[in-house]
Structure formats: structure tokens, C-alpha cells
Amino acid sequence: MRAELIGIGTEILLGQIPNTNAQWMSDRLAGIGVDVVHHQAVGDNLDRIADAFRLALSRADVVISTGGLGPTQDDITREGIALALGVPLVRRPEIEEFLREKFRRMGRDMPEINLVQADAPVGARYLLPDRGTAPGLVVPVGDRVLYAVAGVPAEMREMMESTILPELAARSGGKVIASRVLRSTGMAEARVAEVLADLFDTATNPTLAYLASAGEVKVRLTAKASSPEEAEQLIDPLADEVARRLGATVFTTTDENLEVVVARLLRASERRVACAESLTGGALAARLTAEAGSSDYFVGSAVCYTATAKRDVLGVSPATIDGPGVVSEACAREMAAGARRLFRSDVAVSLTGVAGPDPHDGKPPGEVWVGLDAPNLQTARHIRAPGDRALVIRWAEQAALDLLRRYLEDRIEDRIEG
Amino acid sequence: MRAELIGIGTEILLGQIPNTNAQWMSDRLAGIGVDVVHHQAVGDNLDRIADAFRLALSRADVVISTGGLGPTQDDITREGIALALGVPLVRRPEIEEFLREKFRRMGRDMPEINLVQADAPVGARYLLPDRGTAPGLVVPVGDRVLYAVAGVPAEMREMMESTILPELAARSGGKVIASRVLRSTGMAEARVAEVLADLFDTATNPTLAYLASAGEVKVRLTAKASSPEEAEQLIDPLADEVARRLGATVFTTTDENLEVVVARLLRASERRVACAESLTGGALAARLTAEAGSSDYFVGSAVCYTATAKRDVLGVSPATIDGPGVVSEACAREMAAGARRLFRSDVAVSLTGVAGPDPHDGKPPGEVWVGLDAPNLQTARHIRAPGDRALVIRWAEQAALDLLRRYLEDRIEDRIEG
């Protein structure tokens, strides 16, 4: 099955936004065995949009467009599809009712301009969104099918995952590709590559690939087979071997984010965590609270940017501030203890360091101390994070989450690389 | 002058890499007044590459391809151009000599496979690279022109900046495009569109476009003129009119992020801020500390997820917790006052609400109170944020930053829409 993607919006052609939708959709379509053979992008121009749909329908089995489904005057994807197919648009009262209800729930009147979102080409199905207000369209064209979804990435992903990918997977029937992602933190990419070199050279199905990002390395195993189960069975032995070699640095074998792993461990052990943050400025707490239900395991975080705040709020001692300073093992330990006391949590993690670009308190950018305080353990770790300000912050978050993960997994004694 | 971009490479269609070249080139071409009207991406397939060039040459004055100029078997852009134009490839001894010299300087013998990079369609000019080994091609086609450059971004940029952009600027007779972005928060996109409807309908140069994201609307004005100064002058009166109609909801006329505007205002007034956060879980503080030098104006944030933490850390009264509850105006005000006291800051903003997906303390998802505490002002605002958990959090951050912005700009009395 061949697919073609059409990104619609003058902002793409002006270079104001990257067409990230095309990459995400291509990756996910490949994952269910659909061949994406063309991408197109066009501006908010009726004739060019219609031409793009005609061209795509002449050479692909499935056409998916993103963008141009909003309520404003430059949102003309609906008209473009109608023009390409030579069918009129009709107002669908069910969509209109959905839109009015959506606005009612937000406590607002629906602006009349939004009514155009209730228009659909004759013969089309519509997809009602959870996010946003833009309904998606599904238009059968002979034995081909055209999908139109919103350009806002989160809204596009919602419709792809809930409807389009499952429908296309069912249509394609044949070979499937399955991937499994192990994620490791605390070991450099080059070291991971060294440890897995012979597997990388010899593995063919599944294949093995690395992807490094701030503070972690992903190892992706990809197998092709005639069923998802068969693909998973092909992956199992290689995944086991990779996990064995990387040991405690592997925090997930199912592509979970580190904060999701930590949340699961906290929930399972019925413990609640508090944080004391400096250089991460709240980013550690924001990661721990990104998932729904985080109040089950997260109490709070004291973000203390200044030495005075560290003393007043967290009780860091003047002797530490005037002695080893705010970027030190002693400060990390006292911050963690202070956070556990302040928030009355079961465990607390702390972070202090230099995000950069300038040195702070006599320490260079990238210098970070991570602390942990629990009834049975007080400890701290030192890391030297590479890269710019944003990268240092990300590395620091990873180090704090990983120290907490190892504590909760009772693997705190395992060596952590600097 | 109309341009079309063709990204060549199966890795783009598999979603393994984003086609960032298209965005960068589009932005730079717009800057010299070239209209990019289409993007295409195709895989490493000879017929499809040739078709893509034929289609592009049928509708654009300038075609620029990226990728497929390397030495390996899947690099077939040269063959694709030759097939599209019906001309043979010839080996160019000058390129061959350049390649051999390039390898000599690296102290290596040139692999014979690299020789294909010395092939060019009959009638083509070539561009020798400083970076990499892939020569670019310039192929005149009647009064049109086709450029082919490498897909490695740094190599693409080198040829664009040294040769292609100057050539096209000369061809286009000096027309330039300038854009200006006003950003507004606290007014829904549909309402912005309504307020500006007549301008949108009648404006031709500059044109006017909207782009909505969580908690804000961007209004972009784009003008074409013979010099950057003239383009800016064309934009001025329309920008003033848009700013007048949107009033205090406009927080920047130079496309700055809201936290950057707030940071500038805090610095200018030598005030330091503290935060008290609940549903945003540290995300507000993380935005305020993302830029280097944030310790000049940011002291800290108390992220208090539980009622107990709000009481213990921020001093929220039992009467409030047991009365109107933690999602209330009283709680927002007491949290702000508590944060200002705790961190000894000049001003404090607070956030309390329900991120969802479940109701909390009897309030529905999206219900948010934002508070502000300063020596001369204590106030609070109510918002109903739409969307899922991540969107509600983003809307809440925007509302808190905007309340702070209006306080610092002394525009706190202006109406804020719910």
C-alpha cells in the first residue's frame, strides 16, 4: 500500500515552521508496513491545494493531508478537497452540535466563524477530536482513501493513533515491522556502541540501531515478519542479550520515559517523592508531574535559585554555603534532606549545579551534584554534563531521576559513570 | 519568481530524518523575495526522481534539490536529472581532479566509487564544495534553472549562501519579503480573526495570517518590496492597526516568547519574582529560567502539589482549604502571598487548578486560578483552559506569565478574557 502526505499551509513554504508532521507520520506509517512514496507541501491556495490532492490520488492508495482545517479564512483544505473531487461541501448538523457543545463546556459562545468547521465534502466521514476543535475528514475515492487532519501536531497524532493507523493496518494485511526500544542512562554512547559492536555488525533481522540524546542512549531493534507476534519473537533473544550487557543502565525495555519508570516504581512501593532544585529551575518537577495521576506519588518541589533561598527554604547551613559552596556534595545532601523535611515525603532528590554558559560560585558549566535522602539512605552523585545550557539541564534531570530509579529498584550500589 | 524544493532520500520518506533543509531554504528564499510554492520529497528511485524534476520544472522558475549527490549506489540525483532532461551524463575531469586533490589533502586515496561524483549532465555548471565531497550542479533549462546540492545541512547551506541565494537575488531584481509577528494572549483565535476580519479580507501587501498555539495567537504580516526598509514601511501602518485592535492582549511585536518579554520587564524594573505552583508542577519556573542569566530576576518557586504542602510551605489557611478549597481565588491569593514571603521576592505569581483528566477537589479539568502578590497589588484571575492535560498546563503558564506581564507594564486593569 502506497501513501502520500500533503502538508498544507503557507507558513511551511515561508519556512516559518518545520513540517514535523511529515516525519512523525512517515515513521508511524513505516511501522505498520505502509510505503510512503511522496511528501508534498503547498500553501493556502485553493487551486494548488486541489492540484496536490489530484496528483496524490493519481499515484497513491492513501493520501493524508495535514493543516488548513481551522476556522479562519486561510483554512481552505475543505474547499480544496471538494474542488479536487468535484463534489460540493455540505454543513453537517452533527459536527455543528459537537462544536457548540465544545464551546459550551469551555463556558464560551461559539464564534460564528467556527461554523465552517462543520462543512464536509459530500460522501465524507468525519472524525471528531478530543483535542482542539478541528474535525478530521475521511473521503473514499474509488478504492483509494483520503484523510484530512489538523496541522497542530498533538491533534494530528490523536487522529492518526485513534483512527487512521488502525484502519490502514487493517487494510494492509501483509508484512509488519515491529520495533523495540531499550533505553539506557549513565553510559556514554561510544561505550554502548563498543559493548554492542559485534551484535551491531552481525544482526540482520532484527537490525540494531543507536540514537543518543541528552543523558541517554536508545537502542532500537527492528524486525520484519508476517505477524506482530512473530516479529516480537524474533526480537526477544537479541533484546535479552542487549539488556544483559548494558546491565543496570537500562531503565526500560518498552521505550518508556525515565519519569514514567520512576512514577511506576513510586506507585508500586507507595512512596511519595519531593524535590529540591536549583539549576533545573522546576524542570525536574515538571517531568514528574507531566502524567495524569502524579499526585499519587509527587508532593512538591522547592526550586531555590539563590543561596539565600536554599538557606531560608531548605535549611542549607551557612557553613556549607560559605565553605564548599552551593555547588557541592554537602549542599546537594542538605537540599535533599531539607526537601524531605519540608514536604514530609518518603524520599527526596536534589539537584545543584551550573547550567551555564557562565561559571557560578567558582564552578564551571556542567558541574552538577545530585542528592537523595530517604530514611535508610543519604547519598550524592557527581556528574559533569556536556553541552550547552539546555543540555546540561536535561542531563541533570536524567541523573536525578536515575538516582531515584536505582534507589527504588534497590540497585543504588551499582556503579554510575561520571 | 517561483521556486520549488525537492528533498531526495528514502530516509526522509521513512521518517528517519526531518527535512529541515526545506524549512531553512524556504526561510532564506523568502528573505530575498523568491516565492516558494511547492515542496516535494521523493525516495532514492530513478523514475520518481525524474518525475519530480519534470513536475517542478513545469510550474516553477527555479528548482532546488537536496540530497542524492553522494558516492554510494543509492545516490542517483545526477541520473535523475539526466533522465528528466533527456541528456547524457559526462565525466568532468576538473571535478575528478578536485576530488583526488581533496582526498590527497586528507591523506587518503580516493575510493574509485567516488568517481561518480565527477559526472554531470551535459550543459551543467558545477559548484565545488569547501565542506564534504559532493559537487553541486547548476543546470539551465530554457529560461528556468535547476540547482542540485548535497543533503547534509552544512553542505547545503554553504552552496546556498555562497552561490545560489546571491544568483537568485540578482535574477529577481532585488524584491524582498519582510515579515513581522505580533503575538497575543488571552483572546481566542476565532475572536482575533473576527476582530481583524476586514483587514484579512482587504490586505494584499502586506498580507495577514494567523497561527494559533496553546494560549496564544500569532498574527503575521508579510510585505514584498524592493528593499527591506520599504517592506518594513509597508508593514508599519497595518501592524499599528492590528496592535490597536488587539490592545493589551499583544505582548510582543517582534515575535518574542512571553517569558522573554517578562524577563526583559523584570530586568528593566530591577524586580525579582517568585512563584507558587500547583497544577503546572514546576513548568512555570522552568520557563522563567530557560534563558541564561535568569538568576537576575528569578528567586525560586514552591511547587506544592498537595493541600498539606500548600499549608505547610506556603501558609495557605485551613479556612481556605476546608472552605472554597485549593482551586479557588482565595487559595491563589494566599499562595502568591506565601511565595513572596518565603522567597522574599518583589513580586510573586501563583497558579492553582485542575490539569485533568479527572476533576479535583470538586472542580472540573481546565479550571484555573492565577494570583499575583506585590507590595501595591494583590489580585487573582480565573480562566477556563481548553484541551487535555498538557494544553491546560500550557494555558495556565501563559495566564500566569501574562498576569505578571500586565502588572509589570502597569496594564493590570485591562480586561482579561476567560
pLDDT tens digits, one per residue of A252-282: 999 899 999 999 999 999 999 999 999 999 9
Assess if residue B73 is contained within a domain: yes
Residue of chain B nearest A309, judged by CA positions: B343
Query: Do you find a cis peptide bond into B357, omega within 30 degrees of 0?
Result: yes
Same domain, A125 and A10: yes
Which residue on chain B is closest to A342 by alpha carbon?
B313
Contact B276, A270 (CB under 8 A): no
Find, in chain A, the residue whose alpha carbon is nearest to that of B417. Answer: A108
Note whether B25 and B146 are same-domain residues: yes
Chain B residues closer than 8 Å to A74 by CB: 200, 209-210
Q: What value, to the nearest 5°, has the Cα angle with vertex A240 and ends A234 and A242?
A: 105
Domain termination residue (choose one: B220, B252, B284)? B252
Do B7 and B146 share a domain, yes or no?
yes
Query: Do B115 and B262 belong together in one domain?
Result: no
Bridge partners (DSSP) of residue B12 are none
**pLDDT at position A334, please?**
98
Q: State which amino acid sits at residue A409.
A: E
Instruction: Give yes or no for a contact between A135 and A101, defined as CB atoms under 8 angstroms apart.
Output: no
Contact across the interface for B211 and A16, Cβ inside 8 Å: yes
Give the residue from A402, A365, A371 showing the smallest Cα distance to A384: A365
pLDDT of residue A173: 66
Residue A353 lies in a domain: yes
Among candidate residues A144, A172, A200, the one where a domain is terminated? A172
Rounded to whole angstroms, the Cα distance separating B197 from B208 reads 10
pLDDT at B416 over 50: no
User: Nearest Cβ partner of B282 from A28, A284, A308?
Assistant: A284
> Which pLDDT score, from 0 to 100, does residue A318 have?
97
Q: How far apart are CA B138 and CA B148, in angstroms?
A: 7
Q: What integer pLDDT is reported at residue A417 of this predicted model?
A: 43
Which pLDDT tens digit goes with each residue over A151-168?
999 999 999 988 998 899
Q: Which long-range contacts (CB under 8 A, 24 or more apart) does B107-116 make?
A: B111/B71, B113/B71, B113/B72, B114/B71, B115/B71, B115/B91, B116/B71, B116/B75, B116/B78
Residue A386: predicted pLDDT: 80
| Chain A partners within 8 Å of B188 (Cβ) | 108, 111
CA distance A10 to A300: 43
Asked if residue B401 and residue B325 are part of one domain, the reply reads yes
Q: Are B285 and A288 in contact (CB < 8 Å)? A: no
Cis bond leading into A206, ω under 30°?
yes
Chain B nearest-CA distance from A414, in A, is 30
User: Residue B418: which pLDDT band, with cuts at 50, 70 and 90?
Assistant: very low
User: Which pLDDT score is estimated for A413?
Assistant: 65
Q: What is the CATH number of the domain that holds B41?
A: 3.40.980.10
Q: Is the pLDDT of residue B238 over 50?
A: yes
pLDDT exceeds cutoff 80 at A332: yes
- Whether the CB-CB separation of B285 and B218 falls below 8 Å is answered with no
B264 and B350 housed in the same domain: yes
Average of per-residue pLDDT across B19-26: 95
The pLDDT, as a whole number, for residue A351 is 97
Q: Indicate if B306 and B369 belong to the same structural domain.
A: yes
Chain A positions in Cβ-Cβ contact with residue B290 (cut-off 8 Å):
281, 390
Mean pLDDT over the full length of chain A: 92
Residues with Cβ within 8 Å of B240's Cβ and at least 6 positions away in sequence, in order, are: none
Contacts of B211 in chain A (CB under 8 A): 11, 16-17
**pLDDT digit string, tens, across residues A170-188:** 887 666 777 788 999 988 7
Answer whether residue B304 shows pLDDT above 80.
yes
Q: Hey, what's the cell of A50?
A: 486541489
Question: Is the per-residue pLDDT at A134 higher than 70?
Answer: yes
Q: What pLDDT, on the 0 to 100 scale, is given for residue B98?
A: 95
Residue A22 burial by CB count (10 A; 0-12/13-18/19+): exposed, middle or buried? buried
How many CB pairs below 8 A link A and B?
270
Half-sphere exposure of A180 (CA within 13 A, CB side): 23
ipTM over 0.85: no
- Most confident segment among A386-395, B29-38, B159-168, B336-345: B336-345
CB B249 within 8 A of CB B186: yes
Does the residue B322 lie in any domain?
yes
The number of beta carbons lying within 10 Å of the beta carbon of residue B204 is: 8
- Within a domain: B416: no
Distance from CA of B100 to the nearest CA of A (A): 30
Assigned domain for A22 exists: yes
Q: Are residues A291 and A245 in the same domain?
A: no
Mean pLDDT of B4-28: 92
Task: Give me B324's grid cell.
Answer: 472554597
**Is the confidence at residue A418, as pLDDT, over 60?**
no
Is B42 close to A38, i.e. CB distance below 8 A? yes
- What is the DSSP-derived secondary structure letter of residue B178? E
| Beta partners for residue A208, in sequence order | A221
Nearest neighbour of B282 by CB, restricted to A107, A108, A283: A283
pLDDT digits (tens, 9 = 90+) for B104-161: 887 778 888 889 999 999 999 999 998 778 999 999 999 999 999 999 888 999 999 8
Do both B142 and B98 map to the same domain? yes
Of A235, A252, A269, the last residue of a domain is A252
**pLDDT tier for residue A88 given thresholds of 50, 70 and 90:** very high
CA distance B303 to chain A (A): 5
DSSP symbols for B357-393: SS-BTTB-TTEEEEEEEETTEEEEEEEE--SSHHHHH
Contacts of B387 in chain A (CB under 8 A): 131-132
Nearest to A15 among B27, B40, B290 (CB): B27
* Contact call for A73 and B200, based on CB within 8 A: yes
CB atoms within 10 A of CB B37: 20
The alpha carbon of residue A191 is apart from the nearest alpha carbon of chain B, in Å, by 23
Q: What is the CA radius of gyration of chain B?
A: 28
Least confident of A206-210, A242-246, B385-389: A206-210
Average pLDDT score, chain B: 92
- Contact predicate B335/B390, CB 8 Å: no
A95-131 pLDDT per residue, tens? 999 999 988 987 888 899 999 999 999 999 999 999 8
Q: Residue B345 belongs to a domain with what CATH number?
A: 3.90.950.20
Chain A residue with CA closest to B211: the answer is A11
- Do the chains contact at B284 and A288, CB–CB below 8 Å? no
CB contact under 8 A, B286 and A294: no
Contact B73, B45 (CB under 8 A): no
Selected for mutation to probe chain A from B47, B291, B305, B397 (highest A CB count within 10 Å) is B305
- Which of B16, B81, B36, B344 shows the shortest CA–CA distance to B177? B36
**Facing B190 at nearest CB: one of A13, A113, A283:** A113
Cβ pair B280:A286 closer than 8 A: yes
pLDDT at B174: 65
The rounded distance, in Å, linking the Cα atoms of B255 and B213 is 14
Give the phi and the psi of residue A253 in degrees, each rounded to 5. -110, 10
Within a domain: B414: no
Q: Examine the domain organization and report whether B181 and B298 are in the same domain.
A: no
Give contacts of B18 with chain A, Cβ < 8 Å.
18-20, 22-23
Sort out which chain A residues have CB atoms less than 8 A from B292's CB and list them: 355-358, 389
Q: Which of B19, B30, B288 sits opposite A14 (nearest CB)?
A: B30
CATH number for the domain harbouring residue B245:
3.30.70.2860
User: What pLDDT does B111 receive?
Assistant: 84
Strands A35-42 and B62-66: unpaired
Separation between Cα atoms, residue A149 and residue A69, nearest integer Å: 7
User: What is the spatial distance between Cα A69 and Cα A6, in angstroms, rounded to a whole number?
Assistant: 13
Across the interface, do B190 and A111 touch by the CB < 8 Å criterion? yes
Distance of residue B93 Cα from the nearest chain A Cα, in angstroms: 35
Query: What is the torsional sign of CA B31, B37, B41, B46?
Result: negative
| Cross-chain Cβ contact A22/B23 below 8 Å | no
pLDDT for A148 equals 98
Is A94 domain-assigned?
A: yes
Assess whether B164 and B231 both reside in one domain: no
Q: For residue B417, what pLDDT is reported?
A: 42
Residue B377 lies in a domain: yes
A139-153, A393-407, B63-77 — which is least confidently predicted? B63-77
Give pLDDT tens digits for B260-274: 999 999 999 999 999
* Digit-coded pLDDT (tens) for B276-296: 999 999 999 999 999 899 999
What total of structural domains would you count in chain B?
3
B28/A37 touch (CB, cutoff 8 Å), yes or no: no
Q: Which domain holds residue A14?
A: 2-172
Q: Identify whether residues A204 and A340 lie together within a single domain.
A: no
Q: What is the pLDDT of residue A232?
A: 93
The reported pLDDT for the residue numbered A414 is: 56
